[in-house]
Structure 1
Amino acid sequence: MTAPWRKPCPPGQAAREAAGLRWLAGAGGCRVVRVLGAEDDLLLERLSPRRADAPAAEALGVALARTHAAGAPWWGAPPPGTEGDGQLGAAALPTPSTPPAGWGAFYAGWRLQPYLRAARDAGTLDAAASQELDRLLSRIADGHHDHDQPALVRSSGHVAARLHGDLWSGNVVWTGDPVEAVLIDPAAHGGHAETDLAMLALFGLPHLEHVLAGYHEASPLADGWRERVALHQLHPLAVHVLLFGDSYVAPLLQAARRAAEGRGRDSGAVGPGW
């Protein structure tokens, strides 16, 4: 039997991440790395990476649509059993203690403002950049950028989709024969399905166009989704500004301007394959 992968975790993190993985696995969509133990460290099944191919990518899109459609009870809702601990998964995202009024209030108040405020306090964002971003945040919080979920989420009756929450390409492991995608390292919570898709595009994913085709076939995306890619990439870019500094300020401001103008990939949105 292959030895499990032992992932060292800060105090409390193993249980949170295990809860997120089990919540995602319970959706019956994407394959998620199996949890073998969650005491001080996280014990996971060991995966043998392979090269992605188009059929596996399309299957990931279909599976991700089903995961999203499993839903969450409210915007920002954490996996069951982790309520009230203040953060989510590997990315340690803050979680609201009560349901926000809408997606815009959640996204602006819990996914953008904490990171932008910290970056401003650290001196990474100057006054002009902060003022520009604050104007956009105000409009997002007021609901001016709210939009429909994909079809399967809407028909499920859930307001919020069940998100991986940190779905960049490094958290998709291609493995097996035939190849399939396995998700790792979530910050699972209730959010907008387009956020996971935009994150996949931010740093590039092999065969992303096939992922999107499979997703859209299974759960058609709401009109104008391409124009909202930059909007959904604001959060990871804000996190990168805080963590890595000045080099991400220009991409953040570019994405903010595209989000404000409603422009998507065809006009130069961040991320390949859109």
Structure 2
Amino acid sequence: MDDFVKEHAGSPRGFFAAEAAGLNWLAEPDVVPVVAVIDHDRNSLRLDRVEESSPDAHSAFGFGRRLALLHDSGAPAFGWAPAEPAWFGPLDSPFEVEVASCASFTEFWVETRLEPVATDIANQLSKDEQATITSAIEAISTGIFDGIAGIGTERPARVHGDLWAGNLMWTPSGCTLIDPAAHGGHRLEDLAMLALFGTPFLDDIFAGYEAVHPLPDGWRDDLPVHNFFALLAHVKLFGTGFLGQTLSAARATIDRAETLGP
């Protein structure tokens, strides 16, 4: 067989259309391998079948270079997405996320991602836990993370949006992107997701990335800010088993903001 069908009966209207649009948008600059869309309907998505291979340092470095080029190809705005509605989460229980063209990363991240999910999970949290998450969101709201490591301001990047290790396929032709939540975002969103649950040869990916797009010293200390939404979403989707990681990211965000602040 030369294709693969991803399907789920009763999927939300527009779910597979959004994924197909996201894949096509990521493929558009022709700088990184992306699984090819053949067709889609309400309950399924037909894709080219991809041959898998074992991860290695050479492929990782090459993918890092290509990911930097993808991000540098840009997006119309923070929060813009190639289809509406847009979704985040697994095939059997995704939730809708807002599509909005925002003036800054801070506006996008706080108003359309962090605050809505923090509100959704509030009834699962103690007062102290809510206070920690609220303090982290307030730290981000200052705008100090619009750049990287407190330097400059980032332009909207063309991001995968859910780039954990399971959505990166190692193939003979290079690492291939699957299952995106594609949007205009901050380049560190994808790098943070790669780091969040562990990706093989991560340091080689980062080295390849910086060979194309150098990053300021200390940039990895910003990563908790950029995996904070995914962790909040994991609490929403899967329960408080992810709360410890989420609170750790919140505290790291607060500490990072204090370090970078005046």
TM-score clears 0.5: yes
Residue 205 (structure 2) aligns with: 211
- Which one of 36, 39, 58 corresponds to residue 38 of structure 2? 36
CA-CA distance at 1:248 after TM superposition: 1.2
**Equivalence map 1:166-245=2 (5 Å):** 166-176=162-172, 179-245=173-239
CA-CA distance at 1:92 after TM superposition: 4.5
Residue 60 (structure 1) aligns with: 63
Q: Which amino acid aligns with 1:43?
A: R
CA-CA distance at 1:93 after TM superposition: 4.9
Q: Which amino acid aligns with 1:160?
A: P
CA-CA distance at 1:78 after TM superposition: 0.4
In the alignment, structure 2 segments of 5+ residues that lack a partner are: 258-262
CA distance in 1 between counterparts of 2:246 and 2:15 reads 29
CA-CA distance at 1:69 after TM superposition: 0.7
CA-CA distance at 1:183 after TM superposition: 0.5
Matched, 1:163 2:166: no
CA offsets per residue over residues 35-92 of structure 1, 9 Å max, x none?
011123110011222111111000100000010011111111101xx2xx33246655
CA offsets per residue over residues 94-151 of structure 1, 9 Å max, x none?
1243x3232112111122111111111xx321222112211221231231332149xx
Does structure 2 conserve the Cα–Cα contact (< 8 Å) formed by 1:175 and 1:182? yes
CA distance in 2 between counterparts of 1:229 and 1:142 reads 17
CA distance in 1 between counterparts of 2:138 and 2:102 reads 15
TM-score, normalised relative to structure 2: 0.88
Q: Which amino acid aligns with 1:138?
A: E
CA-CA distance at 1:247 after TM superposition: 1.5
**Equivalence map 1:70-81=2 (5 Å):** 70-79=73-82
TM-score, normalised relative to structure 1: 0.84
Does structure 1 conserve the Cα–Cα contact (< 8 Å) formed by 2:167 and 2:177? yes
Residue 260 (structure 2) aligns with: none
Does structure 2 conserve the Cα–Cα contact (< 8 Å) formed by 1:115 and 1:238? yes
Q: CA RMSD for the aligned pairs?
A: 2.1
SS of equivalent residue, structure 2 residue 52: coil
Residue 14 (structure 1) aligns with: 16
CA distance in 2 between counterparts of 1:239 and 1:16 reads 19
Residue 85 (structure 2) aligns with: 86
CA distance in 2 between counterparts of 1:137 and 1:221 reads 24
Query: How many percent of aligned residue pairs carry the same amino acid?
Result: 37
Q: Which moved more, 1:201-210 or 1:5-14?
A: 5-14
SS of equivalent residue, structure 1 residue 204: coil
CA-CA distance at 1:185 after TM superposition: 0.3
CA distance in 2 between counterparts of 1:50 and 1:96 reads 35
> How many residues are paired up?
247
Does structure 1 conserve the Cα–Cα contact (< 8 Å) formed by 2:135 and 2:254? no
